Structure 1
Amino acid sequence: MRFAVGVLSVVPVRAGRWDREAARGGMAAAPLVGAGVGGFGGAVGAGIQQAGGSGLLAGIAAVGVGALLTRGLHLDGLADTADALGSGKPPEQALDVMKRSDIGPFGVVTLVLVLLAQTASLAACYAHGWTYGLTAAALAGLMGRAAITAACRRGVPAARPGGLGAMVAEVLPPATAWTVAAACTAAAAAAGTCFGGLTWLRCTLAALTALTCAEALLRRCRRRLSGVTGDVFGALCETAATAALLVLSTR
């Protein structure tokens, strides 16, 4: 858990160990960190709404706090992955594009559209009540990190040696990775029956849509980049979270 919190958030927790065994446990626990980050952001948005703020302002706050609590790590990965995939270059050159510190046009457009989609979706969720919005934010955080966990299974290699991507790639047996993903889906369904006016069916659909969209992106990255990187994991997280919010925003 210390590994997961230290890597996936700004909380000042020492990982204690930095090896494959610690990474294995950390990536299995990643969805818990995501639920905490999303839930905290959702609570801030709920507080703003309860204080008289609009649903749009609550959505902006929830997205912004989530970005702050992760140092914008996953958003940066999303932009870099979009630039690499959009470059149309061979794998090695595409990976070089991903490593650059600047953000290209594909990354900018993708980042803007995803942030707008997340904010608009959360604003729609808060329109149904603060508990609905808070729960939606927490579930998006949960499923975003569940997508990371699923991508850490054996058979999904690192695209290059070194870095966080190589550290966590293939650390989990497929059975473990998919069991965690299934448990997160079940938790989402349970939340839908208990909190915020949601339904178990809508929450289950949101969770499955999140995992499906992330898996589609993962397959694309494996074909184009020959594996995963830390940036790809960030892109998977944001893709899954956005997909979940889009489903939850409609009633």
Structure 2
Amino acid sequence: MLPPARAVYVAVSWMTVVPVPQPRMPMDRSVGAAVMTAVPVVGILLGAAAAGLAAALSMTDLPTAMIGVLVVVALAVATRGMHLDGLADTADGLGCYGPPERVAEVMRSGSAGPFGVAAVTSAMIVQVIGFGSLTDQHRWYELAFAIALGRIVAVIGCRRRLPAAHPTGFGALVAGTQHTSVVVWTVLALAAGAVCGWTPHGLDVGAAVRAVVVIVVVVVAGWWFTAHCARRMGGINGDVLGAGIELGVTLAVVGLLV
């Protein structure tokens, strides 16, 4: 198992466009397990960067809707668009009929079908409006929190009992590697969510409870979504994990604004 700092380093090199040197080590399941455990840390870093960008842009004359667009675009660029691509492929796969082999064929086709286009468009519109609204209210912590929270779904998707859809590829490297980390990150998320209720005037109990409910919804939805994908596809792959992240972020943004 990699040391925590090393795991975060490898996760950043895998999950973002940050130009860090690629680590020289065999990429086996022990490395994959460590990287997936560290994925929420990458979410925290991305969330902080996105909140900082939104805060900086809010000091300009740009409308908040435009700021929301720029934040979504920046996140897509920072992650190489991998999660959006995974969302499109997963939506197309789930939208077709047939056995896991047929689903895999659709997902590997390389083109986005109607379900994929609809899923990506819907997620991006919701996130644009959501990030814009959080910016308008100067809720920087919650903007960052939503982005970080979505990454927990990827950890949940790599829990034990969910096999890899294929014997090779990213899924084979990380599927079934997470156990304790699912519990640890959920507990940490609940603690971080409670902070959403702190204001200069004291604790806003309603805001804290809302954040905790959002976390529960994201975790339960992520658990169900990855289990459903595993049933339809015969297991988990990288596209499903990317789709789960986008689903988690979208649900978190909506929940925090309710």
Tell me the TM-score normalized by structure 2: 0.89
Q: Quick check: 1:189 aligned with 2:198?
A: no
Please give the secondary structure, in 2, of the residue aligned with 1:50: coil
Residues paired across the two proteins, number: 245
Q: Please, which of 170, 175, 183 is the counterpart of residue 178 of structure 1? A: 183
5+ residue gaps, structure 2, are 1-7
Who is 1:167 aligned against? 173
The answer to whether the 8 Å contact 1:82/1:107 transfers is yes
Q: Quick check: 1:152 aligned with 2:119?
A: no
Distance 1:101 1:185 in 2: 38
Q: Quick check: 1:214 aligned with 2:222?
A: yes
Larger CA Rg, structure 1 vs 2: 2
Identity in percent: 32
Measured after TM superposition, the shift of residue 243 of structure 1 is 0.3
Q: Quick check: 1:233 aligned with 2:241?
A: yes
The answer to whether the 8 Å contact 2:142/2:196 transfers is no
Who is 2:97 aligned against? 88
Q: Please, which of 6, 10, 18 is the counterpart of residue 11 of structure 1? A: 18
Distance 1:192 1:60 in 2: 27
Q: 1:184 to 1:110 in 2, by over 3 A?
A: same
Q: What letter corresponds to residue 40 of structure 2 in structure 1?
A: P
- Considering only aligned residues, what root-mean-square deviation do their CA atoms show, in Å? 1.8
Distance 1:227 1:158 in 2: 5
Q: Quick check: 1:48 aligned with 2:57?
A: yes
- 1:53-92: per-residue Cα shift (whole Å, max 9, x none)? 2211121111111111000100000000000000112111
Distance 2:103 2:237 in 1: 12
Please give the secondary structure, in 2, of the residue aligned with 1:138: helix
The answer to whether the 8 Å contact 1:144/1:241 transfers is yes
Measured after TM superposition, the shift of residue 191 of structure 1 is 4.6
* Higher alpha-carbon deviation: 198-207 or 105-114: 198-207
Distance 1:35 1:213 in 2: 20
Q: What letter corresponds to residue 29 of structure 1 in structure 2?
A: A
5+ residue gaps, structure 1, are none
Who is 1:249 aligned against? 257
The answer to whether the 8 Å contact 2:162/2:227 transfers is no
- 1:195-242: per-residue Cα shift (whole Å, max 9, x none)? 9x9832222222222222222211210221121100000010000110
Who is 1:70 aligned against? 79
Distance 1:181 1:15 in 2: 29
The answer to whether the 8 Å contact 1:3/1:23 transfers is no
Distance 1:102 1:116 in 2: 21
Who is 1:203 aligned against? 211
Q: 1:138 to 1:16 in 2, by over 3 A?
A: farther
Measured after TM superposition, the shift of residue 97 of structure 1 is 0.8
The answer to whether the 8 Å contact 2:92/2:107 transfers is yes
Distance 1:249 1:61 in 2: 19
Q: What letter corresponds to residue 165 of structure 1 in structure 2?
A: G
* Higher alpha-carbon deviation: 181-190 or 96-105: 181-190
Q: Quick check: 1:141 aligned with 2:147?
A: yes
Q: What letter corresponds to residue 209 of structure 1 in structure 2?
A: V
Q: 1:12 to 1:109 in 2, by over 3 A?
A: same
Distance 2:82 2:126 in 1: 18
* Higher alpha-carbon deviation: 151-160 or 176-185: 176-185
The answer to whether the 8 Å contact 1:43/1:62 transfers is no
